[in-house]
A = this chain, B = another copy of it.
Amino acid sequence: MDDPLSVGFLGYRFMGKAHANALARLPMFFPDAPSVERDVLVGTDEDALAEAKERLGFARTATDWRDVVDDVDVFYNLGPNFLHVEPSVAALEAGTHVLCEKPLAPTTEGAERMVQAARDSDATAGCAFNYRFVPALQYAKNLVEAGELGEIHQFRGWYLQDWLVDPDAPWSWRNDAELAGSGALGDLGAHTVDLANFLVGERTGPIERVSGHLRTFVDERPDPETGEPKPVTVDDAYSAQAEFASGAMGTFEASRFATGHRNDHHVAVHGSKGSLRFSLERLNELEVLREGDRGYETVLVTDADDPYVDHWWPPGHVVGWEHTFVHENAEFLRSVASGTQYEPDFEDAMAVQRVLDAIAESDETGAWVSVDG
C-alpha cells in the first residue's frame, strides 16, 4: 500500500468537523479511496485548536498556515471566505493539492488569482460544492444528461434559511462585505448556481446574463462581545433571473429570513419531456416526472445501484447531510492520487463566482448584466 496522503486543515469548526469526519469514515466505507493521515490542524485560538486536534483526530497543530501549505500533501482551506485566497494560492504554488470551501473568494480578483494558481500548478484544485455529491442529485444529473427530461426550459432554485430573522441575532463575519464577500448570495446562492451548472449545464450551456435583486432587512446587529451595533454590509436575501445560452430561463433565490426554513435548498427543472424536484431537507428523495407520467414519482434514492449507495446501507436506510462530504472527499482524493481531473475545480467555482458577481452588479445598476467568461 502507498504511503498515506498527509493532510492539513485550515479551520476546525463547522467545515473542519465535516471534512474530518469524512476522512475518518473513508476506510470503512470507501476502502478503495487513498489512505489519508490527518496530520496538522491550523488555527489561531490555541486552546480551541488543541481541543479540536484531539477530537478531530489530527497529529499536530500549527498557528500559521504558511508553515503548513508546503508541508502536507493536501491542504484543505476551510477557513472563512477572506482566508480563501492567499493560503490556497501559496499551497498550489508549492505543488500542494487544495480543496477549498465555497465560494471561491470574496472578490473576483481574488478568485482569478486562485484560478490562475490552479492553472499554473500540477496539483489538484477542488472547490467543495458538496451538494453535487448528494446521491439523489447525481441520479438527477444522469436523468437530465440521458435526455429523459428532453430540452430543458426552466431551472428554478431557492435556498431558504431563517437564522437571521431575529433582528437581535449577533453580528458575525458572515454579515461583513469585506470578510464574506456577500451574504445570502455568496453563501447560499453559490450552491444553487453551482447545482444549475451541474444539473443542466451540459444541456443549457452556461448562464449568459442575469438580473439581480439584493436586500438587507436589518442594517446593524449587536457585536457578540460588546453588544454595540455593527453595520451589516451584505444581503440578507437575494433573487435573480437568468438566461442560459440555450435560451432556457433560470430563477434563483435565497434568504436568511425565511421563517421556519432551517436549510431548505430546493431545485426544480422543467424540460420538454419531464420535470424533477429536490429538497435538501429530504435529501434521500427525488421527485421525478418522466415522459408519459402524469405526476411526480417520489423516488427514494437509496437502492443498491444508486450513486454511492452500495457503500452504505440496504435500500430504505437513509443517509444524512454529512454523507455528501464523504463522497466528495473520496472523489477528490482519488483524483489527487491518480492525477485525474477533479470536478468541481476552481474553474467551475469561478464560473459560479462570475454569475454571483453579475447578480450583485445588476442589483447596483438596475439592469441585466452579461456574465463574463
Taking beta carbons and an 8 Å cutoff, which residues of A are in contact with B? 14, 17-18, 20-21, 24-25, 27-29, 31, 54-57, 149, 153-154, 156, 158, 160-161, 163, 165, 167, 211-213, 215, 217, 237, 239-241, 243, 247, 249, 251, 253, 255, 257-264, 270-275, 280-285, 289, 293-300, 302-303, 312-323, 366-368
**Are B255 and A253 within 8 A (Cβ)?**
no
A366 contact set on B, CB distance < 8 A: 211, 367-368
Query: From residue A188, how far is it (CB to closest CB) to chain B in Å?
Result: 12
Give the CA-CA distance A211 to B282 in the complex, in Å.
32
CB closest residue in chain B, given A271: B259
Q: Is the CB of B318 within 8 A of A321?
A: yes
CB-nearest residue of chain B to A306: B294
Q: Is the CB of B239 within 8 A of A57?
A: no
In the bound complex, CA of A302 to CA of B215 (Å): 28
Offer 12 A-B interface pairs, CB within 8 angstroms, sorted by A: A14-B314, A154-B237, A156-B158, A257-B272, A259-B272, A261-B275, A263-B314, A294-B300, A312-B322, A319-B322, A320-B320, A320-B323
* A156 CB to nearest chain B CB (Å): 7
Please indicate the chain B residues that have their CB under 8 angstroms from the CB of A293 in the complex.
Answer: 260, 297
Integer count of this chain's copies in the complex: 4
Are B298 and A298 touching (Cβ within 8 A)? yes
Q: Is the CB of B295 within 8 A of A153?
A: no
Contact, CB under 8 Å: B14 / A27? no
Contact yes or no, B259 A215, CB < 8 A: no
Contact A28 B57 (CB under 8 A): yes
List residues of chain B with CB within 8 A of the CB of A212. 241
A275 to B259, CA, bound (A): 6
Considering the complex, give the chain B residue whose CB is closest to the CB of A243: B213
Most buried by B among A158, A213, A323: A213
A275 CA / B161 CA spacing, docked (Å): 12
Contact (Cβ within 8 A) B247 A270? no
Interface pair A274/B300, CB less than 8 Å apart: no
Give, as a whole number of angstroms, the nearest-CB distance from A287 to chain B.
8
Looking at the complex, which one of B28, B272, B316, B318 makes contact with A56 (CB distance below 8 Å)?
Answer: B28
Complex Cα spacing A258 to B293, Å: 13
Give the shortest distance, in Å, between A358 (CB) and chain B (any CB): 13
Q: How far is the CA of A149 from the CA of B259 in the complex (A)?
A: 9
Residues from chain B with a CB closer than 8 A to the CB of A294 are 260, 297, 299-300, 303
Contact A313 B322 (CB under 8 A): yes
Instruction: Give every chain B residue within 8 A of A158 (Cβ-Cβ).
Output: 156
Q: Do B289 and A27 touch across chains, with their CB atoms under 8 A apart?
A: no
- Whole-angstrom distance between the Cβ of A276 and the nearest chain B Cβ: 9
Q: How far is the CA of A321 from the CA of B316 in the complex (A)?
A: 9
Separation in Å of the A299 CB from the closest CB of chain B? Answer: 5
